[in-house]
Amino acid sequence: MDWLTKFPQIDPAVLLTVKRAIDGSLRGLTRSYGKAIENFFYPLQQVLIFFEKMISATPWPIVILVLAAVAWAAARSWKVVAGVVGTMVAIGLLGLWGDAMLTVSLVLTSTIFAILIGLPLGILMNRYQTAGRVMSTVLDVMQTMPPFVYLIPVVMLLGIGRVPGFIAVVIYALPPIIRLTDLGIRLVDKEVLEAADAYGCSRNQKLWKVQLPLAMPTIMAGINQTIMMALGMVVIASMIGVQGLGLNVLQAIANQYFTQGIFNGFAIVGIAIVFDRISQAYGRRLQKHRSVGHE
């Protein structure tokens, strides 16, 4: 009756052989093409360094003024502007301004890259059913995969540093923008599309002049979720050398520094609130304009 209590499995020796073959091939790839892989990602490293230096070197009053201006342009609300300014001032008063700027630069660059990759993939997912089904399955796997797993392949190929951390953050943050781009395009009213057809719009004209503008509120919700997921990955990415608030939290966990963990956690939450309020307010304004346009 052992077969009822012990689930049958593949021969452990066979599994071990397969695991060793896969791991060995990845290590062999790294040894053989490690320099070529580093050279390939060198421009990306320079882009990350540029953004990091630009944001970190900018005087704090200018950073706060720019964020306040962006908040006003997005929300047209003094409450949102006051919340953004108050949050950034509080982060500075806690002595976390420099680390916060490193985190902001990582989140901004990873969000920009996620949008540049995710928007075309979302359009592709919407236009081609077969590709859409395949991508939907891949996205399901990506969204249920533990975040730590993303670190393994990039570390094996690229080692420790800002580039592998950045790649892991982008991969983790991609699914929302892809899914909500596809959803936003699908939610465009059929009557509007029929009117575009009646005016003789081509497929590309219909996409760029009708579907994407009307889908922008939903796409903005996807961008909002992408930003939140990028921030959520910051602490995990610090395990492979990413500087900023996440590294401070990791050190606080390792050394049991309660107040350091709380303060840095507050700073991460504060940055998340700033980005969330700005992107949500802009999305609501777009939704309002769309509703007025329909009326």
pTM across the whole model: 0.83
pLDDT at 157: 76
The answer to whether residue 32 sits within a structural domain is no
**With pLDDT > 70 as the criterion, what percentage of the chain qualifies?**
95
pLDDT of residue 89: 92
Question: Is 111 a domain residue?
Answer: yes
Q: What's the whole-number mean pLDDT along residues 230-259?
A: 82
Per the CB < 8 A criterion, the answer to whether 177 and 219 are in contact is yes
Cα–Cα distance, 247 to 103 (Å, whole number): 10
> What's the rounded Cα separation, in Å, for the pair 60 and 80?
19
pLDDT band for position 204 (cuts 50, 70, 90): confident
Rounded to whole angstroms, the Cα distance separating 282 from 80 reads 11
Q: Which domain holds residue 278?
A: 41-294
What's the gap between Cα 208 and its chain centre?
A: 24
- Confidence check: pLDDT of 149 > 60: yes
Which pair of structure tokens corresponds to residue 170?
């982008």
Share of the chain above pLDDT 90, in %: 13
CA dist 262 → 10, 35, 91, 231, 273 (Å): 46, 40, 12, 16, 16
Say what the pLDDT of residue 1 is.
57
What CATH number does the domain containing 124 carry? 1.10.3720.10
In-domain check, residue 229: yes
The full DSSP string for 75-140 is H--HHHHHHHHHHHHHHHHTT-HHHHHHHHHHHHHHHHHHHHHHHHHHHHHHH-HHHHHHHHHHHH
Please check whether residue 73 lies inside any domain of the structure. yes
In tens, the pLDDT along 116-147 reads: 999 999 999 888 888 888 988 888 888 888 87
In this predicted model, which residue has the larger pLDDT, 215 or 38? 215
Domain-embedded: residue 35: no
Q: What is the pLDDT of residue 290?
A: 58
If you average pLDDT over residues 193-221, what whole number do you get?
A: 84
Look at residue 80 and tell me whether its pLDDT is greater than 60: yes
Q: Is the pLDDT of residue 62 over 90?
A: yes
Q: Which residues 6+ apart lie within 8 Å of 176 measured at CB?
A: 118, 222, 225, 226, 229
User: How many domains in the chain?
Assistant: 1
Give the pLDDT score at 113: 92
**Mean model confidence pLDDT for the chain:** 84
The answer to whether residues 125 and 175 touch, using CB atoms and an 8 Å cutoff, is no
Note the Cα 222 to chain centre separation in Å.
Answer: 10
Q: Is position 247 within any domain? A: yes
Residue 26 belongs to some domain of the structure: no
Band (pLDDT 50/70/90 cuts) for residue 289 is low
pLDDT at position 235: 76
Residue 189, in any domain of the structure: yes
Predicted pLDDT at 143: 80
Structure tokens given for 29: 């790839």
pLDDT over 70 at 3, yes or no: no
pLDDT of residue 86: 92
